[in-house]
Chain A
Amino acid sequence: MPRMNMVQALNSAMDIMLDRDQNVVLIGQDIGYFGGVFRCTDGLQRKYGEHRVIDAPIAEGGIVGSAIGMGVNGLRPVAEIQFADYIYPGCDQIISELARLRYRTAGDFYAPVTIRTPCGGGIRGGQTHSQSPEGIFTHLCGVKVVMPSNPYDAKGLLIAAIEDDDPVIFFEPKRIYNGPFDGEPDKPAVPWSNHEKGEVPSDYYTIPIGRADVVREGEEVTMLCYGTMVHVCLAAAQAMDVDAEVIDLRTLSPLDVETIRQSVEKTGRCVVVHEATRFSGYGAELAATVQETCFYSLEAPILRVTGWDTPYPHAFEWDYFPTKKRVSKALEDVLELA
């Protein structure tokens, strides 16, 4: 089977969809001739033409707004926002328009837009190249939110997102574009080529939106995570020799509550891990859901490991980032608590 990193897997997903569906178009800054600043659309303009892989002006509101218009007129646009940190000028179009169009027109209008955007830290990018704003978008009603943790899922989920008639915000954790990262910054980088999820079929396949993946089975504690943090959680569980069940949520909204419920009812303990800041973050939703659905199975309070409630710093990144060390300590804490 071919081996791909996440960039190649995403490229393959878009390639397949451009080929299968004439209505699929890509639009974004530097995505055309150049192939994207992370090279996710490399070669696609040459293959499908300037009218289907479109270089956009630097105006995120314009990109999202025009994608909505194209979607209403029968196209299936895939918009790239160069960094999730730059999605905010597009937010009125996302929050007030994209998310609500189907509802306010009783289904007469809708826009099947996918918005791809690299997110997350760990690249010394400071506050404007490191943010994890997923919680802003999971708070919306009417958009789906997805974040893959490996090349195989990235491709299957992106194809599913493009085919979905609802808008999907597709977050790409850029720290793991080229290889998994287990939250130990001093260790040399490893490529996807040695990882089982780096094996990616070259053909069409989908991974359903709305379904989590149990990536490690265990009895002692449930770890809820997504994106880069999946790898950090796995590494921490192994390092601490804890029989942890690690759930890669993959889709943040709508959430696969059933998979979570089954796990926490078995383990009785839960740690929630994300890079985004803590207060009012997505982890709060997860903790509330676990509490509501599994209260009588819980043997300890649900713990959260998150970015601290400050803007993302340039210095001290590894004190800010939920590293393997921070997650390991949380595992010890949650098992001691009774």
Chain B
Amino acid sequence: MSRKPRLHIPPAPARPGADPDFSYIDIVEAGSVPRPDPHTRLREIPNSLIFDMVRVLDDAHAPVGPWDPQLDPEELQAGLRFMLETRLYDDHMLRMHRQGKISFYMKSRGEEAVSVAAAMALRPGDMLFPSYRNQGLQISRGRNLADLMNQCLSNSADMCKGRQMPIMYHWRRGNIFSISGNLTTQYPQAVGWAMAAAIKGEDDIAASWIGEGSSAEADFHHAMTFAAVYMAPVVLNIVNNQYAISTFQGTAGGERRPFAARGPGYGIPGIRVDGNDFLAVYAATTWAAERARAGTGPTLIEHVTYRVDAHSTSDDPSRYRSKAEPQAWPLGDPVERLKAHMIKFGQWSESRHEALVAEITEQVASAWEEACSYGTMAEGPFLDKNELFEDVYRDMPTHLIQQREQMLEVDRWGEEN
């Protein structure tokens, strides 16, 4: 046997043409992971929280085990509604991209529970630092769909005033921070926000989300270190949807250890959770939020989920993964699972579901109509182009006033020539 080092390249599970293979994902039975008291010291938290998987819904859609958050029917219905709104919003926006109405889009299909259940488990005053695949946070906090659409259209009502690509939303009043195109930057920022809450003695906490691919960035390490050192009241989420564009989660370092296992190395408890189980995500977030709010410290949550659709409208996954993968994903679909659970306990029915889908479809269509009344890419009303120079600084410096004048001069010159 050779004793020389050999560069290891993490193998991908199923390239195009191969049969899907999710055997690398360790899935334990629902209800099998113990739920320690949230204020348990790190060294007493069992390793099963990071190596097994917190799951509540069993294969027959019944809630089992100590993590069952015991939500009432109204809360479940709200969760289902927000997940469906997210999904139907995504579907609509993808269609609008195909029709050339928006320049870019990113869907979150299959990952709706990760955002919706977390938003519902947190308080409205808690500050959220999302990635670009967390539209469910906005929707669960009651954001008007038209507001999100306005941003994607860069129209006269765009909260970014045309300065960001589609989906880079923010919502100051809703306590949702600005989405950056630069991966992982929000992670240490969330920790800093939480440190400020601790400095000020307030009990609002922060939460942030990154993809598993993004956990390779140095900002992940910065966030974890600062969160651990200062026991910052923050919930740090890694959404492990198995892919970072074309690269499999092994390329990000997930091959031999779950991402949740990174927590304890920093002195932060980790939880590996079934990200397609609405109740499990809700329960894990509640546990982490309780720790943070009581000053016990930060938590790292890995959500095991699957990116069902393309990375973005610029991507074609059939080039790098088996087309059959989405159907073979072993943790199912978050919407279908919650729906089945509610039906099983008589809190929901197929006909109510159909009616809800129809209602939301109508809601999305009328939101689109409203958004278009504020302008589209092709038709006004447009933003005022002088806005281009606003907000670089609080007060516009002289050189920008001059450049704005030069821009208008070019227009006048263009009309004369």
Contacts and interface: CB of A to CB of B under 8 A. Distances in A.
Nearest to A279: B399
A34 B320 contact: yes
Contacts of B399: 279, 309
Interface centre among A37, A62, A316, A319 (most CB of B within 10 A): A316
A285 B358 CA distance: 61
Contacts of B180: 128
A46 B392 CA distance: 46
Interface centre among A50, A55, A85 (most CB of B within 10 A): A55
B296 interface: no
A195 interface: no
A140 to B, nearest CB: 20
Contacts of A30: 245-247
Interface centre among A59, A61, A86 (most CB of B within 10 A): A59
A115 B351 CA distance: 58
Contacts, number: 129
Nearest to B409: A329
A51 interface: yes
A313 interface: yes
Contact of A57 (B164, B219, B246, B253): B253
Contact of A89 (B217, B252, B388, B417): B217
A50 B400 contact: no
B392 A86 contact: no
Nearest to A328: B417
Contacts of B216: 57-59, 62
Interface residues on A, range: 35 or more
Interface in A60-114: 60-62, 85-86, 88-89
B110 to A, nearest CB: 21
Given A37-B245, A314-B154, A314-B164, A325 B403 contact: no
Interface stretch (A119-127, A221-229, A261-269): A119-127
Contacts of A50: 9
Contacts of B353: none
Given A33-B15, A127-B163, A310-B400, A54 B182 contact: no
B269 interface: no
B218 A61 contact: yes
Nearest to A52: B7
B363 to A, nearest CB: 26
B183 A311 contact: no
A274 interface: no
Contacts of A126: 163-165, 168, 181
A308 interface: yes
Contact of A54 (B9, B158, B409): B9
Interface centre among A29, A310, A328 (most CB of B within 10 A): A310
B318 to A, nearest CB: 11
Interface centre among A62, A86, A128 (most CB of B within 10 A): A128
Contacts of B158: 315
A29 B104 CA distance: 21
Contacts of B165: 124-129, 314
B388 A320 contact: yes
B383 interface: yes
Contacts of A34: 245-247, 319-320
A43 B319 CA distance: 12
B194 to A, nearest CB: 22
Interface string B154-172: 1000101111110010000
A33 B320 contact: yes
B407 A319 contact: yes
B414 interface: yes
A197 interface: no
A68 to B, nearest CB: 15
B182 A85 contact: yes
A330 B400 CA distance: 18
B182 A86 contact: yes
Nearest to A51: B7
B63 interface: no
Interface in B1-38: 7, 9, 12, 15
B245 A316 contact: no
Contacts of B314: 37
Contacts of B385: 316, 319
A60 B218 CA distance: 9
A216 interface: no
B388 A308 contact: yes
B301 to A, nearest CB: 20
8 contacts: A37-B245, A59-B218, A308-B389, A310-B392, A315-B158, A315-B162, A315-B382, A325-B410
Interface of B: 7, 9, 12, 15, 103-104, 154, 158, 160-165, 168, 180-184, 213-214, 216-219, 244-247, 251-253, 314, 319-320, 382-383, 385, 388-389, 392, 399-400, 403, 407, 409-410, 413-414, 417
Given A85-B182, A315-B158, 16 more contacts: A33-B15, A34-B246, A37-B314, A50-B9, A54-B9, A57-B252, A59-B218, A60-B217, A126-B168, A128-B182, A308-B400, A314-B103, A315-B383, A316-B383, A319-B388, A326-B410
